[in-house]
Chains A and B, each alone.
Chain A
Amino acid sequence: MDIHKLKQQLWKYFKISSFRPGQSEIIRDSLAGNDVLGVLPTGSGKSLCYQLPATLLGGVTIVVSPLISLMEDQVKQLKAVGFKSVVSLNSFMNPVEKKHVLQGLDQYQLIYLSPELLQQRSIIQWLQEMTVKLFVIDEAHCISQWGHEFRPDYLRLADVLNLLNHPPVMALSGTATPEVQDDIATSLNRQEIKKHIYPMDRDNITFSVKKVTGEQEKQDIIVSLLKRFRVPALIYFSSKRKTEEVAAFLSEHMSSHRIAFYHGDMDQMDRITIQQQFMNDQIDVICCTSAFGMGINKQNIRMVVHYHFPMQMASYIQEIGRAGRDGKSSISLLLYSPSDQAIPHSIIENELPKADDLPHIGRQLRQWEQLPTTEELLQTLGLNEIQWRFLHYQMEWHGLIKNNQMIYDQGYWDRALQHIGKLIGNRLEWKHEKLQEMLRWIQERHCLRRELYKGFQDSYKPPVYACCSNCDFSFKHWSPVQTSQYRPSLTWETKLKHIFFAEESYAKTERTN
């Protein structure tokens, strides 16, 4: 399809007048029936790459996405722009609701599915009834053991593709090293997949790493910086509880700022409210976990702070990518205190079952002929959901469990468990290695920009503003675009009038009053 027609369609469905780099190339390759792997930096509009084809292909486009909450946000956003023939299916829906959706499945152009749902035969049977024109794998790095968010469920996607009679595939990711890219192609059994890789370095972001003595100093730095620079900011944490605690601390010490927290345990309406308020400049600062970000398209985030450092560089690159989408000078500030080192270790431990526990878990499992409910199972085995997901996949792969039934053979069972134990050891080692890489970068004496990107791409653009705290940067010289102060002195009558009759953003009128 020629680019002119594509643009017309883009305008008709999404009211967007032009493509961003990479989008039209990926879309045209996909419409031509090719398998495509798109690696585009965060915030470059990955989802449009399949949303637009979905309107053109006839039949149905399936999108596999790892996070249910984000799937639901996307469906909401699509419906908001008038794209109504879209639905999301996940295992948390009640049976009546699910049945209702499944019975009307053919009226949708775009169906979001969680990967674990594709393990259900009944779902596959429903999908086999339809013409799947495009099979999209969002966050495709989850398929790779070497990606920063490995999801065992994703490894089964190759089987799903076979069952669905080999539809064209579009695999998308924001961060995929060459190693991960190869893994994606191999796992999906699509060696000929057409790659569209775009560099992820950001020339308007300045990197700053600051070593501190502890929590108190982190909080003091944040307060003093935000008082000095009135800019929209995101602060990343690795713990949900901390987002709330620090948000409370900051509110108390910066009455001039409006501060909120955001994490995956909040209900969906609250999450959307916070996102939208941030978009509308009603909130200045958000303390969040990595759950925040996808689907948010705020142009003027000037500062991304890491209160806790991420588990690996790939996650870090993805998170800082939310700063400065408008191309203006923005900062990524990482605050590091030596005591932070303990946190990621415990997170890693929580992601995998302990190899030493496997014999015990194996004995326990054998006492059941059939797997009980997940809840009971996790309780009895003392595992969390992530750990069980990993183990379940591995046990199925080794043929120890089939259709929720134990297949027991003493000698083989023990050997297989040993093998899984070894695998866990390797995974742990790999994760610790990635963590060390991150820590090394934090301790780096040379250019942070060069060291950050070197594992991902061959070169990077020269920075437009200051480079990094090891080269030339100091907050003394930073002069970002700032927002004006909010003055909350309105009476309810004025506020009510604003809500009903304001012609521009309420936040903006609030500020100028």
Chain B
Amino acid sequence: MLFDAIILTCCSRFQGGRSVSAIYHLLKGKRAIQTVQDARLYQLEQFYGIHPTLRKQDLDQLVSKLNMGDYLKLTNESTALPMEKGRQWVKEHIDELPVNCFNGLLYSRSAPIFQERLLLLIQTLTNSRMQNMTFIPVVDNPIVTEWVKRTFYMYRNEQESFLNNLYAELHLMLTHFKEWEASMFTDSLTGYQHYGWSSFQVSEVYGVNKQDVPLYKTAIVHRMMAIAKEKQVMFPLLAQFLRELPNESKLSKSAKKTKILLDNHFTAENIADYRNLKLNTIYDHLVEIALYDHNFPFSMYVNLAEQMEIKKAMQTTLTYKLKDIKEAVDDSISYFQIRLVLAMERLPQ
């Protein structure tokens, strides 16, 4: 039901201007500039990246179901327009669905980390309280486990009060939600000798569609994050957890892989070899990385004299256009080097 409402909302905002694939990319949170611009242009920021595990065939199936039921109409250009019945249905159900809890553009990358840290922290604290350190962690993502270890260590001498405070905050937090939302969230928590319910189990017990369960959880977590941020005084611990979330990585997946190798002192040529990619692709990655990374070793790829020359050319040509700059500098300077210097210039100081 929640998923249907999201799709119908997307369709009515897109108004046929974008295909079903665009909905897919939006919900998956594709990093392409196009997708992010779509989210902004059509005011669908809230849904950006809220369903990272979505499969195209599941979306297509749902769309065709809505099509058959006359909730929306599929056109030849594989766009989907909402029908009167669909609009009416959304209007009737919008109040019972947490559609407006989502804030995807802001939280889609950090929410899973926030949620998993909370889960693992509760599992760790409640087990430690019972002197049981031989439990199987529910999360094994290092970005989560490392943080939980650190936090656990930090509070090791005041575990009791830490647990009490966390409980109090979470309890207060859940009173901001509907009874059954609070209940669903609680059922997914793991404690001492108790493992939280899987999505499948939640869907059975709450009579919710299996596809909807992760969406409900995501909606709850997004709203929690928003509340904790807004009312920091009431939620000091949760607000602190928020502040400790890693900076959102803006790199594409492939660039990220390149970055790992780069950090391990691979050269661009090595990386191209190792990953079986064209050298130019790796250069694209390096530029992407340089755009966000203050520690990027610019001088390895473009020495100081070359940097000066490129910057001078930028000033004289008064342009960011690559071709103009290229013509104004020595032939030995490559497009790649110019792009790097441009990236360097755009780094926020």
Binding site for B on A (CB under 8 A): 15, 76-77, 80-82, 95-96, 251, 260, 269-270, 272-274, 276-277, 280, 282, 488, 491-493, 495-507
Contact = CB atoms under 8 A, between A and B. Distances in A.
B182 A506 contact: no
B22 interface: no
Given A77-B136, A276-B136, A507-B194, A500 B122 contact: yes
Interface string B129-156: 1100111111110000000000000000
B170 A496 contact: yes
Contacts of B204: 251
B183 interface: yes
B163 interface: yes
Contact of B179 (A488, A492, A496): A492
Contact of A96 (B139, B170, B261): B261
A282 B194 contact: yes
A93 B243 CA distance: 33
B93 interface: no
Contacts of A80: 134-137
The 4 A-B pairs with the shortest beta carbon distances in the complex, nearest first, are A506-B194, A499-B191, A492-B183, A505-B193
Interface string B169-204: 011001000010011011101111111101011001
A495 B195 contact: no
A220 to B, nearest CB: 21
B257 to A, nearest CB: 7
B195 A498 contact: no
14 contacts: A96-B260, A96-B261, A269-B138, A272-B136, A273-B196, A276-B136, A282-B194, A282-B195, A496-B186, A497-B167, A499-B126, A502-B126, A502-B194, A504-B193
A503 B204 CA distance: 28
Nearest to A277: B195
Given A96-B260, A269-B138, A280 B195 contact: yes
Contacts of A493: 171
Contacts of B163: 500
B69 to A, nearest CB: 24
Given A260-B200, A498-B191, A500-B166, 18 more contacts: A76-B136, A76-B140, A80-B135, A95-B274, A273-B198, A280-B193, A488-B205, A492-B182, A495-B186, A496-B170, A497-B167, A498-B194, A500-B163, A502-B193, A503-B130, A506-B191, A506-B193, A507-B194
A292 B256 CA distance: 36
Contacts of A282: 194-195
Contacts of A505: 193-194
Contacts of A503: 130
A15 B134 CA distance: 10
Interface of B: 122, 126, 129-130, 133-140, 163, 166-167, 170-171, 174, 179, 182-183, 185-187, 189-196, 198, 200-201, 204-205, 257, 260-261, 274
Contacts of B192: 502, 506
Given A80-B135, A260-B201, A273-B138, A492 B186 contact: yes
Residue with the greatest number of chain A CB neighbours at <10 A, chosen from B133, B182, B194: B194
Nearest to B194: A506
Interface SS of B by simple majority: helix
A276 B134 contact: no
B198 A499 contact: no
B193 A492 contact: no
Q: Is the interface of A mostly helix, strand, loop or mixed?
A: helix
Contacts of A507: 193-194
Contacts of B182: 492
Contacts of B167: 496-497, 500-501
Contacts of A96: 257, 260-261
A363 B170 CA distance: 66
Contacts of B187: 495
B135 to A, nearest CB: 6
Contact of B133 (A82, A260, A272, A501): A82
A496 B171 contact: yes
A77 B137 CA distance: 10
A306 B182 CA distance: 39
Nearest to A268: B140
Nearest to B189: A499
Nearest to B257: A96
B192 to A, nearest CB: 6
Contact of B195 (A77, A276, A501, A502): A276
A288 B175 CA distance: 39
B174 A492 contact: yes
A82 B135 CA distance: 10
Contacts of B260: 96
B198 A500 contact: no
A97 B196 CA distance: 29
Nearest to B192: A502
Given A77-B136, A492-B183, A500 B195 contact: no
B286 to A, nearest CB: 18
A251 B203 CA distance: 12
A269 B261 CA distance: 28
Of residues B200, B257, B260, which shows the largest number of chain A Cβ atoms within 10 Å of its Cβ?
A: B200
B213 to A, nearest CB: 13
Nearest to B132: A80
Nearest to B191: A499
A280 B170 CA distance: 25
A501 B127 CA distance: 10
A15 B133 CA distance: 12
Name which of A76, A276, A280, A492 has the most chain B CB atoms within 10 A of its CB: A492
A260 B205 CA distance: 12
B174 to A, nearest CB: 7
A386 B299 CA distance: 52
Contacts of A506: 191-194
A269 B260 CA distance: 26
B256 to A, nearest CB: 11
Contacts of A260: 200-201
